[in-house]
Amino acid sequence: MLFKELNITAPLINALDDLGYKECTPIQEKAFPVVMSGNDMVGVAQTGTGKTFAYLLPILRQMKFSKDPHPKPRVLIVQPTRELVIQVAEEINKLTKYMNLHVGAIYGGANINKQKDLVYNGLDILVSTPGRLVDMTSTGILRLNNVHQFVLDEVDEMLNSGFRHQITNILEMLPKKRQNIMFSATLNRDVANLIEVYFNSPERVEIARHGTPLENISQSAYMVPNYYTKVNLLKNLLHNSDELTKVVVFVARKRWADRLYDFLLEEFDEEEIDVLHSNKSQNYRIQAIQKFEQGEYRILIATDVIARGIDVDDITHVISFDTPDYPENYIHRIGRTGRAEKKGKSIALVSKIETEYLEDIEEMMQYEVPKIDIPRDVEISEQLLEAEKENTNQQNYIGNLKDREGRGDAFHEKKAKNQKENLGGPGRRKPKKTRPINRAAQRKRSQKSKK
């Protein structure tokens, strides 16, 4: 379906023309009439399917110029990261090129006074991270009583990042009469709970089965014995600079991102690689993404927390240096490539102790990732990390022991169960696991059971 076939007005059509966009993506086509109807909506679609315009177009279509010289926001859009706030605000500015609307972006880690001025001067649409939004409302400078459309974007990521409290706080502050619009790449139990409590019989708009990988991403995995062999393998892969022209290497933790960066500098040029995580300043992060987008750096090492802020076209490869213990994170990592109908490759480096995580991911996607052999010229290292030496069965080198105690136990239980199953005869299906969605929920649950 073409954009001009949607019930949208000339200013939006012209802005879309300027952007060179003609045809809607499926989620954009499906969500448009639902948002226009004024009913609550829950949209589920994988990353890179065009969810941003799916809510922006119908919202902007309905917006009227405000005569109030200092309008209070009528549309509130909440995003999990600063990068996404900035990006969505930019998209709104592009789409409203021929409209007279004020858009503001507020987020942590930047001068709050400037943002206060922005709010004070008046806004039609406000885009924010949950934390800064709560801070601004508590000072009284920002009032949400005019908001009649509320968008929670990437809500699964917000809940994974521990923003539940801020989100419920915001929901409680909003006027009763409003339209709730939610977008998520995955629907998990936490998301479902939020919908149940705060949404009013929402209409669900879904594209493809939840958790299925994008079809234009080809996935593969290497089973690697230990950390140092992974480093050797990664270096080997990255040397293929003809094919790997724009690569994101994901690592779970900041400390490990920096460490890996140092290892790669042993063989690669500083001009080729950058590293990005939440300890870096806001300016640094924005510049790093820009430089990567413009091709100044070929390789970007990044942590999961900022994964969704990376909306860069033409990423050829996403390499998971470690295997995420939350399958959703894997989906978001690989969603950085294969965007907007382009082909992309995902390569996972899976150590022995991470095979369980890969199984969880495969179960969620209902897809078995093809395994490839480690190239012969990659040296298999015998060197072990302290954690790998101490107890390779229980400990994961990427985590500290405390953080992962729960997982460690589950791993053992499952091993014992598998043995039993093997004795019990073939053909028995693996029982479906119920797994805590995030650590906060996990903690809460264990506190409850102690009571």
Q: Which residues bind Mg ion (CB under 5 A)?
A: 51
How many other C-beta atoms lie within 10 A of the C-beta of residue 446? 11
* Long-range contacts formed by 401-404: CB under 8 A, 24+ apart: 403/439, 404/325
Count of residues of this chain found to bind ligand ADP when the rule CB under 6 A is applied: 16
Helix 51-62 × helix 26-37 angle, to 10°: 30
Distance of closest approach, residue 94 Cβ to Mg ion, in angstroms: 15
Cβ closer to Mg ion: 231 or 307?
Answer: 307
Residue 230 touches which member of ligand ADP, Mg ion, none, C-beta under 5-8 Å by kind: none
| In contact, 222 and 320? CB cutoff 8 Å | no
Distance of closest approach, residue 80 Cβ to Mg ion, in angstroms: 10
The length of the chain is 451
Distance of closest approach, residue 115 Cβ to ligand ADP, in angstroms: 23
Binding mask 317-356 for ligand ADP (x = CB under 6 A): ----------------------xx----------------
Place of tokens 């991470």: 354
CA atoms within 13 A on the CB side of 294: 7
Distance of closest approach, residue 268 Cβ to ligand ADP, in angstroms: 28
Cβ closer to Mg ion: 91 or 272?
Answer: 91
Distance of closest approach, residue 311 Cβ to ligand ADP, in angstroms: 5
Structure tokens at 146: 């005019």
Distance of closest approach, residue 441 Cβ to ligand ADP, in angstroms: 24
Residue 190 touches which member of Mg ion, ligand ADP, none, C-beta under 5-8 Å by kind: none
Q: Residue 307 belongs to what H/E stretch?
A: none
Residue 340 touches which member of Mg ion, ligand ADP, none, C-beta under 5-8 Å by kind: ligand ADP
Cβ closer to ligand ADP: 285 or 308?
Answer: 308
Cβ closer to Mg ion: 51 or 82?
Answer: 51
Cβ closer to ligand ADP: 314 or 413?
Answer: 314
| In contact, 163 and 78? CB cutoff 8 Å | no
Residue 438 touches which member of Mg ion, ligand ADP, none, C-beta under 5-8 Å by kind: none
> Under rule CB under 6 A, which residues in 172-231 are in contact with ligand ADP?
none
Residue 269 touches which member of Mg ion, ligand ADP, none, C-beta under 5-8 Å by kind: none
Secondary structure letter of residue 23 according to DSSP: B
Cβ closer to Mg ion: 54 or 221?
Answer: 54
Burial code (b: 16+ CB inside 10 Å, e: under 16) for 46-77 equals: bbbbbbbbbbbbbbbbebeebeeeebbbbbbb
Cβ closer to ligand ADP: 340 or 401?
Answer: 340
Q: Please identify which residue in 8, 12, 24, 307 interacts with ligand ADP, judged by CB under 6 A.
A: 24
| In contact, 27 and 54? CB cutoff 8 Å | yes
Distance, in Å, from the CA atom of 171 to the CA atom of 168, rounded to the nearest integer, reads 5
Distance of closest approach, residue 430 Cβ to Mg ion, in angstroms: 32
Residue 1 touches which member of Mg ion, ligand ADP, none, C-beta under 5-8 Å by kind: none
DSSP line for 82-124: HHHHHHHHHHHHHHTTTS---EEEE-TTS-HHHHHHHHHH--S
> Under rule CB under 6 A, which residues in 25-64 are in contact with ligand ADP?
25, 28, 45, 47-53
Cβ closer to ligand ADP: 85 or 221?
Answer: 85
> Under rule CB under 6 A, which residues in 272-311 are in contact with ligand ADP?
311
- 12 class by beta-carbon count within 10 Å (0-12 exposed, 13-18 middle, 19+ buried): buried
Distance of closest approach, residue 433 Cβ to Mg ion, in angstroms: 28
Distance, in Å, from the CA atom of 169 to the CA atom of 152, rounded to the nearest integer, reads 13
Three-class DSSP category at 188: coil
Residue type, 422: N
Structure tokens at 436: 């805590």
Distance, in Å, from the CA atom of 35 to the CA atom of 75, rounded to the nearest integer, reads 13
How many other C-beta atoms lie within 10 A of the C-beta of residue 239? 11
Distance of closest approach, residue 96 Cβ to ligand ADP, in angstroms: 15
Cβ closer to ligand ADP: 205 or 350?
Answer: 205
Distance of closest approach, residue 386 Cβ to Mg ion, in angstroms: 39
Question: Which one of 6-14, 17-25, 117-125, 431-439 is the stretch in contact with ligand ADP (CB under 6 A)?
Answer: 17-25
Structure tokens at 291: 């430089």
The dihedral of CA 396, 331, 52, 441: what is its sign?
negative
Distance of closest approach, residue 97 Cβ to ligand ADP, in angstroms: 15
Residue 344 touches which member of ligand ADP, Mg ion, none, C-beta under 5-8 Å by kind: none
Provide the binding-site residues for ligand ADP, judged by CB under 6 A. 21, 23-25, 28, 45, 47-53, 311, 339-340
